[in-house]
Structure 1
Amino acid sequence: MNPIRLVIITSTLLISCTAFADMKFVYHAPESSHDSRYKYHWEILKNALDVTAKKYGPYTLVPSEKLSENQQLAEMKKNSPKLNVMIRETNKIYESELTSVKIPIDKNLIGYRVLLIDKKDQPALAAMKTLPQLNTVKVGQGAGWGDISILRNSGFNVVTEENYDDLFKSLSKGKFKIFPRGVVEVLEEHRKFKNKYPNLVIENHLLIYYPLPTYFWFHNSSDGRLMARRVEEGLRYIIKSGTYRKVFDKHYAKVIRELDLKNRTMIQIPNPDLPDSVPFDRKELWYNSTEN
């Protein structure tokens, strides 16, 4: 056989095998039995993978061992088989080290924050309308969370905890006064922790906003880039087909109504960590609380 023809046939077979091999997506498991923050995101990922199966072949979704957010990032940076798909906000550093799909998974709804507080502090917080006023109280965040630098940049005194569940315990003990939670998280978290911490309530007056586009992230490798390409194609398809909006509304339409976002006092703060690649020009990818 002609050597050139043999090379072409071999290359074709290799490409075909790569495209239709079972893609294994190892995603980060919940950090505790109370942690349900990413149910929506993994459902979106599954939909994106389902609609690309004809082109890219079968896949499996497998949870990782329990990893903190700092550990997740460390595993991703070293192209570890322990984790190869991560949900995280974008910033300039991550963009230089990992491969992202630049479509905000939840329309940036995570950038709208209401506060978990001790109910005794509601009267004082109800009187606050400006950032300088809010800066007078300590804020709780998980170690390694991307919000920390954003909040500190705007003058907040941020207290961190390594363990997710300990944040609710520390709030109840007064270690900090406010725990800003994404609209997509807060109702479920309050439901799960209110029996253990009876004074835990959702503050009823304020809404903090900062742009925090959250992406799917993959290894900075040929395999990672292939996985990212598949997911991006899938996301674009389900956005166009309306499936994305249906899943979004299933998870969040009731939440948006119940938290009454439109009638809260909004305090906007900047995100200095954003790269220039954020697709702000694509309005269909962003939730706007003033229009709902």
Structure 2
Amino acid sequence: MIYRFIVFNVLLISHLVMGKSSEPTVFSYQGSQFEADRSHNYTIDVLKLALDKTKAEYGDYKLELKGHGLNVARVVKLVETGYYKNFFFKHSITTEISKKVHTIHFPIDRGIIGYRIALIHPSNLNKFCNLTEESAVNNISIVQGIGWTDSDILQANNYRVYPLTNPDHDKVFGLIKKGRVDAYFRGVTEEKDEYFVAAQKKFGLVYEPCISFAYELPRFFITHINNHVNAKRVELGLKRAYKDGSFIKLWEKHHLHNLIANKLVDRKILWLENPLIQGLSQEYKKYNFSVQEYFDK
């Protein structure tokens, strides 16, 4: 009897060890759409953190860059079709998209990207400060990229949106400089990155200082709808990192400086509805940041 017990446990351990491949699992992720954009570095760091937290159960991993330079709408289609194997993409989720892909309901940016500030031409500095949620709709025009969730949200709130298929900075900033549109709204923590440097040096644009748009904009990792095992690993890693504080440290490292520097707490917040997430579980909100969290820092 004891002999059988020992043999059974040896076989079980052997099965578990052999079940975990000695080869690293390859995870692919999307690169930036254009060279000046470095915001994807944070996304890569988050994915690495989640995978590091789950090595004990799932083994080692390897990251591969895919889809560099592709616009958002194209990348989402690639996720839906499973064009890239084990491909993960951070996307502003909608109820419709969540039906077509496997969605990890954890807000990678903690909701901060839903606060948007505007790049404008200096000649328009006096145009924004007195705007209200009602008057802004009829008084400003906005350039955005096709396939961006922001574009759909702005249009749903009756804003005039100028859509671009490939919104590289020369096209976006050129439209603002020529006065064809008033503004380009970006995430509040993207304030002083390489994208802004290009806008300032080459086109003379500035950030509008008085207002911020705000709307619910949960950004989740999405992958192919049948990629269950690897999605479970990423979700487990994210929740572990949140629980032990390492996710918050990473978030603060990438976002806190700009969050404080742009004085979000002093801006007039113009709230917009996001009709694209109706029916979406609200569970993700417990991971979101609040302005009061960092008010005294």
Q: Normalised by the size of structure 1, how large is the TM-score?
A: 0.89
How far apart are 1:24 and its partner, in Å? 1.4
How far apart are 1:169 and its partner, in Å? 2.4
Q: Percent identity?
A: 25
Partners of 1:142 and 1:167 within 8 A in 2? no
Q: Normalised by the size of structure 2, how large is the TM-score?
A: 0.87
Partners of 1:72 and 1:83 within 8 A in 2? no
Spell out, residue by residue over 1:162-194, the C-alpha distance to the aligned partner (whole angstroms, 9 max, x if none).
Answer: 223222222222221011111122321212331
Instruction: Tell me, yes or no, if structure 1 residue 195 matches structure 2 residue 201.
Output: yes
- Distance in 1 (CA, whole Å) between partners of 2:86 and 2:35 is 19
* Range moving further from structure 2, 267-276 or 100-109: 267-276
Give the match for residue 50 of structure 1. 52
Instruction: Tell me, yes or no, if structure 1 residue 227 matches structure 2 residue 230.
Output: yes
Partners of 2:215 and 2:274 within 8 A in 1? yes
Instruction: Tell me, yes or no, if structure 1 residue 243 matches structure 2 residue 246.
Output: yes
How far apart are 1:262 and its partner, in Å? 0.5
Give the match for residue 159 of structure 1. 162
How far apart are 1:258 and its partner, in Å? 0.7
Give the match for residue 3 of structure 1. none
Give the match for residue 177 of structure 1. 182
Instruction: Tell me, yes or no, if structure 1 residue 24 matches structure 2 residue 59.
Output: no
- Distance in 2 (CA, whole Å) between partners of 1:57 and 1:82 is 18
The number of aligned residues is 279
How far apart are 1:290 and its partner, in Å? 4.4
Instruction: Tell me, yes or no, if structure 1 residue 109 matches structure 2 residue 112.
Output: yes
Shift in CA distance, 155/83, structure 1 to aligned 2, threshold 3 Å? farther
In the alignment, residue 158 of structure 1 is paired with which amino acid? V
How far apart are 1:37 and its partner, in Å? 2.0
How far apart are 1:157 and its partner, in Å? 0.8
In the alignment, residue 30 of structure 1 is paired with which amino acid? S
What is the 5 A alignment of 1:73-88?
73-81=76-84, 84-88=87-91
Give the match for residue 211 of structure 1. 216
Spell out, residue by residue over 1:106-152, the C-alpha distance to the aligned partner (whole angstroms, 9 max, x if none).
Answer: 11100001111111101111221333334321111111101112111
Give the match for residue 4 of structure 2. none
In the alignment, residue 172 of structure 1 is paired with which amino acid? K
How far apart are 1:72 and its partner, in Å? 0.4
Spell out, residue by residue over 1:31-67, the C-alpha distance to the aligned partner (whole angstroms, 9 max, x if none).
Answer: 1210112211211111111111111111111111422
Give the match for residue 5 of structure 1. none
Shift in CA distance, 204/14, structure 1 to aligned 2, threshold 3 Å? same
Partners of 1:90 and 1:275 within 8 A in 2? no
How far apart are 1:154 and its partner, in Å? 0.8
Coordinate RMSD, CA, aligned: 2.2
Instruction: Tell me, yes or no, if structure 1 residue 125 matches structure 2 residue 143.
Output: no
Give the match for residue 6 of structure 1. none
Partners of 1:31 and 1:68 within 8 A in 2? yes
- Distance in 2 (CA, whole Å) between partners of 1:83 and 1:167 is 33
Spell out, residue by residue over 1:230-280, the C-alpha distance to the aligned partner (whole angstroms, 9 max, x if none).
Answer: 011101111011101111111111111111000100000110010433335
- Distance in 2 (CA, whole Å) between partners of 1:13 and 1:184 is 47
Shift in CA distance, 127/84, structure 1 to aligned 2, threshold 3 Å? same
Look up the SS of the partner of 2:181 in the other structure. coil
